[in-house]
Amino acid sequence: MKRLAIGPSALPGLAPRPAAGAVRAGERVFLSGASALQADASVAGPGDAAAQAHRALDQLERALAAAGGSLANVTKLTTCVVDRDFRSGAYAAISERLGAARPVSTGLVVAGLALPELIVQIDAEAAIPASPPRHTRPYDFTSWHGQGFPWHGAMVLATDDEFFLRGQTGAGLDHTGIKAKGRTLADAAAQADLAMQNLKLLLAEAGAAAEDIAKITVYISDRAYRPAVYPMIGKHLAGIRPVSTGIVTVGFARQDILFEIDASVPRRQGGVAHRRLRPYHSSAARYGTEAQPLDCEFCMAVVSGSRVTLRGQTGMGLDEVLVGAGDAARQAEQAMDNVETLLAEAGAGVADVAKATIYVTDRAHLAGVNATIGKRFGDAAPAVTSVIVKGLASPELLMEVDIVAIRPDAR
């Protein structure tokens, strides 16, 4: 694992601690979230989504060059805007710069970014494989669903080591739009059901299977939809036990989307199935101060060859007790205690972390949470992304951190 393009982070709370623009492990490149935030903590292109997207892409281009690649190696984009109206400018810039790369993508409207002036952030994944990537169901639009920007993408991009999937919603794979257009619990369940059907079909077409899923990230537009959405996930992923992170976000690419799911799908190494540590049933788990009858089977860590992927960690201790009620920094301390324990059980440590994605529910929490987490990394600079979200699994949870590490035996 090589840490590349390392420099002091301008993210609130992390400065002057180092962050890696890129961390490369084999073909895979983990990248820090990119925005118009500059080294002096000023913001380029104020109010201009296209200009901020171009500045973010400049950052990604430099980081990828340090890793031996280019923007052509981008495999997946998670693009965050703070207002749906900024999508057109941001995506027009991305389409212009990425050309024929055909990355898969997920588009979110979020509650905020590191500074109020930031309106676009691009969290990119990349790979520099020995052979060209393979695309499943590529598509081309001169105007993406009438939103005014051209887009060239695919439903799945497969490399030698991994399958990257476009975020799946309740829309048909024929691009005809959302099938359940209301905002009831039944509509949320129907969207989740179709998204999971699509996910499994796309994996089969690409040569993978649901059993290869290591992690899911579940986005919903209202916490009230959780009891409707998660049983559908449990139905389709019964017995698989991925790790998971659940995010409540402001919105999606279109107003009628209530649910979107991302899946991390590394290929089996040497034909060996992923190893799943600390399995649990969600209905027996606590989220904040209460249990939630979600009827899903998950685990705390997945080991895929040298890669370790953790469940999103919060102020919930591994003993199911909430620590730091009302104190986001204290919750971050507990989350990192959990991270250290889980990584050790998987044969890794905090110094082996390649990517950390930090979610907070209020900008007021961001600096303290970033500082707490950054202190635990010390000089072992991972790639870092920070996002302000509408909510997490329960109102008591103020932060969550996603972790991907590369075990020392890979080096």
d(Cα 375, Cα 16) in Å, to the nearest integer?
Answer: 11
Confidence at residue 149, expressed as pLDDT on a 0 to 100 scale: 83
Kindly report, residue by residue over 316-374, the tens digit of the pLDDT: 999 999 999 999 999 999 999 999 999 999 999 999 999 999 999 999 999 999 999 99
Q: Is 238 helix (H, G, I), strand (E, B) or coil?
A: coil
**Rounded-to-10 torsion of CA 356, 97, 155, 267:** -50
Confidence at residue 259, expressed as pLDDT on a 0 to 100 scale: 96
Confidence at residue 213, expressed as pLDDT on a 0 to 100 scale: 98
Confidence at residue 239, expressed as pLDDT on a 0 to 100 scale: 96
Q: 410 pLDDT exceeds 70?
A: no
Kindly report, residue by residue over 255-309, the tens digit of the pLDDT: 999 999 999 999 998 889 999 999 999 888 888 888 888 999 999 999 999 999 9
d(Cα 255, Cα 249) in Å, to the nearest integer?
Answer: 12
Task: Note whether 78 and 105 are within 8 A (CB).
Answer: yes
Question: What is the distance of C-alpha 181 from the center of its chain?
Answer: 25
Task: Note whether 398 and 287 are within 8 A (CB).
Answer: no
Q: 84 Cβ partners below 8 Å, 6+ apart?
A: 109, 251, 253, 255
Q: What is the pTM of this model?
A: 0.97
What value does the mean pLDDT take over residues 34-49? 96
Q: Name the nearest CA neighbour of 207 among 270, 140, 157, 171.
A: 157
d(Cα 38, Cα 55) in Å, to the nearest integer?
Answer: 9
Q: Which domains does the chain have, with CATH numbers?
A: 27-160 (3.30.1330.40)
Kindly report, residue by residue over 64-90, the tens digit of the pLDDT: 999 999 999 999 999 999 999 999 999
d(Cα 68, Cα 51) in Å, to the nearest integer?
Answer: 26
